[in-house]
């Protein structure tokens, strides 16, 4: 088995190799969430390298859960753009996955209206300037699960090979699992088992909407960096339940797959985290052990070379998702394949005017990338 050998998912679909394009928000949909030509070009050029899987930017399932100006899957008006996005991903043989999310307490008040902010509980995020959301009623929680189901149905109609639930990085699904964000005492919270109910219900709804022959994936943050957050042991229990739903893959979201360090909610990139961990093994290995072949494991974080990918696979991953490396160099996989890694672009050009055109990065995404010093390397 090598990084170039296929992976067969439970649903029967098979990848060309073990490389995936990680979900990458471009912050640049039309106002109403339709996909722009710029985003299609961003994806088309990168998927042309022949990735086994290409995952879309996180796509909102509810208008009041948008965390940035990204693409949506809430009604048939979104279908034509989603169809074109799926075609662009599949053009070079990649399997096309739509990642779907809800922002919950970190939806953007300027986009949705501050009074519409709602989440598992009325607890503000730690992010600077965060507003306190309203706690959702049980009917609203059921409604949000239905929105995930409907978004998955739209993805199927649009021709995607599958859907990934964004259960990571502090968005709504993660919030329901987090004791920091979820203080409910009903079916959806109060104990660890009840905090699992929302992630599991969303995963099941997506599986039901897709049927058994499309790919159902779930992205998880392996543990919370904050002292009162959920632990690796908690997340392993969740993954055990998720694997029991006959998902096709579980994707483990890390800043760097070797460093055992998830992104803290305050989003300090390359900076100190509130609590340091010394795990005997990578979370990838621990998750792979719990999942025990019941579905594939996808690793991400800091994969820049073929050797990095091989390292993650040696830790137990079946697939690796590549993010910043493929933002910076759209031809990244072609260079890895032809063993010309020395020619891989190591950072974004110094001259900001060159970035959008030369690299097919939507201008709003360029602004977004440059707004976080240290997040993405510069030449
Ligand atoms: C510009 C940008 C946008 C991102 N958007 C998403 C997203 O929509 N959904 C998601 O799950 N992760 C998102 N991520 C996280 C990446 O998928 C990936 O996990 C992270 O960048 C670490 O991998 P890397 O070191 O290969 O970049 C984004 C990262 C970047 C740099």
> CB-based burial of residue 28 (10 Å sphere; 0-12 exposed, 13-18 middle, 19+ buried)?
buried
Residue 260 has pLDDT above 70, yes or no: no
CA distance 215 to 8: 10
Quick one: which atom of ligand 1 is closest to the CA of 324?
A: 27
**Ligand 1 geometric centre to CA of 138 (Å):** 31
Protein residue with its CA nearest to atom 28 in ligand 1? 24
pLDDT given for residue 265 in this prediction: 77
Pick from 216-220, 280-284, 334-338: least confident: 280-284
378 located within any domain: no
**Ligand 1 geometric centre to CA of 24 (Å):** 5
- CB of 303 within 6 A of ligand 1: the answer is yes
What is the pairing mode between strands 215-220 and 249-253? parallel
- Is residue 241 within 8 Å of residue 200, measured between CB atoms? yes
Domain total of the chain? 1
- Is residue 238 within 8 Å of residue 196, measured between CB atoms? yes
Q: What is the mean pLDDT of the chain?
A: 94
β partners of residue 256? 261
pLDDT given for residue 261 in this prediction: 63
- Is residue 375 within 8 Å of residue 369, measured between CB atoms? yes
Question: Tens digits of per-residue pLDDT, 66-125?
Answer: 999 999 999 999 999 999 999 999 999 999 999 999 999 999 999 999 899 999 999 999
Region of 17 on the Ramachandran plot (φ > 0 left; ψ -120 to 50 alpha; else beta): beta
379 located within any domain: no
287 located within any domain: yes
Q: Is 40 helix (H, G, I), strand (E, B) or coil?
A: helix
pLDDT given for residue 281 in this prediction: 72
User: Which domain covers residue 202, as residue numbers?
Assistant: 19-370
Any idea what the CATH number is for the domain that residue 245 is in? 3.20.20.70
**Ligand 1 geometric centre to CA of 22 (Å):** 6
Of the candidates 57, 363, 340, 97, the one whose C-alpha atom is nearest the C-alpha of residue 217 is 97
Quick one: which atom of ligand 1 is closest to the CA of 169?
A: 11
- CB of 97 within 6 A of ligand 1: the answer is no
Alpha helices in 48-137 (DSSP H): 79-90, 109-112
- CB of 57 within 6 A of ligand 1: the answer is yes
State both tokens at 50. 């022949």
147 located within any domain: yes
Question: Tens digits of per-residue pLDDT, 135-175?
Answer: 999 999 999 999 999 999 999 999 999 999 999 999 999 99
Of the candidates 198, 193, 208, the one whose C-alpha atom is nearest the C-alpha of residue 246 is 208
Question: Tens digits of per-residue pLDDT, 28-55?
Answer: 999 999 999 999 999 999 999 999 999 9
**Ligand 1 geometric centre to CA of 25 (Å):** 7
376: Cα separation from own chain's centroid: 18
pLDDT given for residue 269 in this prediction: 44
Which of 23, 106, 172 gets mutated to test ligand 1 (max ligand atoms within 8 A of its CB)? Answer: 23
Q: Is 301 helix (H, G, I), strand (E, B) or coil?
A: coil
Protein residue with its CA nearest to atom 29 in ligand 1? 24
Place of tokens 């904050």: 226
Question: Tens digits of per-residue pLDDT, 312-358?
Answer: 999 999 999 999 999 999 999 999 999 999 999 999 999 988 999 99
Place of tokens 């029991």: 244
- CB of 299 within 6 A of ligand 1: the answer is no
1 located within any domain: no
| ∠ CA 61-107-116, rounded to 5° | 90
Pick from 149-163, 179-193, 251-265, 294-308: least confident: 251-265
β partners of residue 261? 256
Quick one: which atom of ligand 1 is closest to the CA of 303?
A: 26
Measured torsion, CA atoms of residues 139, 209, 195, 286, in degrees rounded to the nearest 10: -170
- CB of 89 within 6 A of ligand 1: the answer is no
**Ligand 1 geometric centre to CA of 180 (Å):** 23
Of the candidates 263, 272, 269, 298, the one whose C-alpha atom is nearest the C-alpha of residue 373 is 269
pTM: 0.96
Tell me, letter by letter, the H, E, C secondary structure of 289-306.
HHHCCCCEEEEECCCCCH
Confidence class for position 258, pLDDT limits 50, 70, 90 = confident
186: Cα separation from own chain's centroid: 28
Protein residue with its CA nearest to atom 2 in ligand 1? 24
Tell me the percentage of the chain whose pLDDT exceeds 70. 95
**Ligand 1 geometric centre to CA of 323 (Å):** 5
State both tokens at 31. 């106002």
119 located within any domain: yes
CA atoms within 13 A on the CB side of 164: 32
**Ligand 1 geometric centre to CA of 324 (Å):** 7
CA distance 111 to 108: 5
272 located within any domain: yes
State both tokens at 4. 């170039």
377 located within any domain: no
Q: What is the DSSP letter of 256?
A: B
pLDDT given for residue 259 in this prediction: 73
Alpha helices in 131-211 (DSSP H): 138-157, 172-177, 192-195, 197-210
- CB of 169 within 6 A of ligand 1: the answer is yes
pLDDT given for residue 279 in this prediction: 53
Q: How many residues does the chain have?
A: 379
Q: Is 351 helix (H, G, I), strand (E, B) or coil?
A: coil
Protein residue with its CA nearest to atom 30 in ligand 1? 24
Protein residue with its CA nearest to atom 22 in ligand 1? 301
Of the candidates 80, 65, 169, the one whose C-alpha atom is nearest the C-alpha of residue 127 is 169
Distances (CA, A) of 288 to 169, 250, 324, 333: 20, 9, 24, 25
């Amino acid at each position: 088995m090598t990084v170039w050998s296929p992976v067969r998912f439970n649903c029967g679909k098979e990848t060309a190799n073990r490389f995936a394009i990680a979900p990458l928000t471009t912050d640049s949909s039309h106002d109403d969430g339709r996909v722009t030509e710029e985003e299609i070009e961003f994806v088309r050029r990168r998927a042309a390298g022949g990735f086994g899987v290409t995952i879309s930017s996180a796509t909102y399932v509810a208008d009041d859960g948008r965390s940035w100006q990204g693409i949506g899957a809430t009604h048939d008006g979104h279908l034509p753009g989603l169809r074109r996005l799926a075609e662009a991903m599949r053009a070079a043989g990649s399997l096309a996955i739509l990642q779907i999310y809800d922002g919950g307490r970190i939806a953007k008040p300027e986009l949705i209206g501050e009074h519409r902010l709602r989440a598992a509980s009325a607890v503000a995020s730690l992010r600077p300037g965060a507003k306190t959301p309203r706690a959702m009623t049980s009917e609203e929680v059921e409604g949000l699960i239905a929105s995930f189901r409907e978004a998955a149905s739209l993805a199927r109609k649009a021709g995607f090979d599958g859907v990934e639930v964004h259960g990571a990085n502090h968005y709504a699904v993660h919030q329901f699992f987090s004791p920091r964000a979820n203080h409910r005492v009903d079916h959806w919270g109060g104990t660890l088992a009840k905090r699992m109910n929302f992630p599991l219900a969303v995963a099941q709804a997506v599986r039901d909407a897709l049927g058994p022959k499309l790919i159902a994936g779930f992205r998880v943050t392996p543990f919370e960096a904050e002292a009162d957050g959920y632990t690796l042991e908690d997340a392993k229990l969740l993954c055990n339940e998720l694997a029991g739903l006959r998902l096709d893959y579980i994707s483990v979201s890390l800043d760097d797959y070797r460093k055992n360090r998830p992104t803290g909610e305050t989003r300090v990139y390359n900076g100190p985290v509130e609590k340091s961990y010394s795990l005997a093994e990578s979370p990838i290995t621990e998750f792979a052990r719990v999942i025990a072949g019941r579905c594939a494991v996808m690793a991400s974080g800091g994969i820049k070379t073929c050797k990095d990918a091989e390292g993650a696979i040696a830790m137990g991953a079946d697939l690796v998702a590549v993010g910043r490396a493929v933002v910076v160099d759209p031809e990244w996989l072609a260079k890895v394949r032809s063993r010309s890694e020395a020619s891989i672009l190591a950072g974004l050009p110094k001259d900001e005017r060159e970035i959008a055109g030369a690299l097919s990065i939507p201008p709003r995404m360029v602004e977004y990338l440059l707004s976080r010093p240290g997040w993405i390397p510069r030449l």
